[in-house]
Amino acid sequence: MLDVPLELRCNVCGHDRFTLPTVDAADQDVRCGECLAFKCHADDLEQHMLAAASSLTPQPGKGARRSCAS
For residues 4 and 49, what is the distance between their CA atoms, to the nearest angstrom? 13
13 makes contact with Zn ion (CB under 5 A): yes
- Which of 34, 46, 48, 53 contacts Zn ion by CB under 5 A? 34
**63 Cα distance to chain centroid:** 11
CA 2/CA 22 separation, integer angstroms: 7
CB of 33 to Zn ion, least distance (A): 8
Residue 23 found at the interface with Zn ion (CB under 5 A): no
Given the rule CB under 5 A, which residues bind Zn ion?
10, 12-13, 15, 32, 34-35, 37
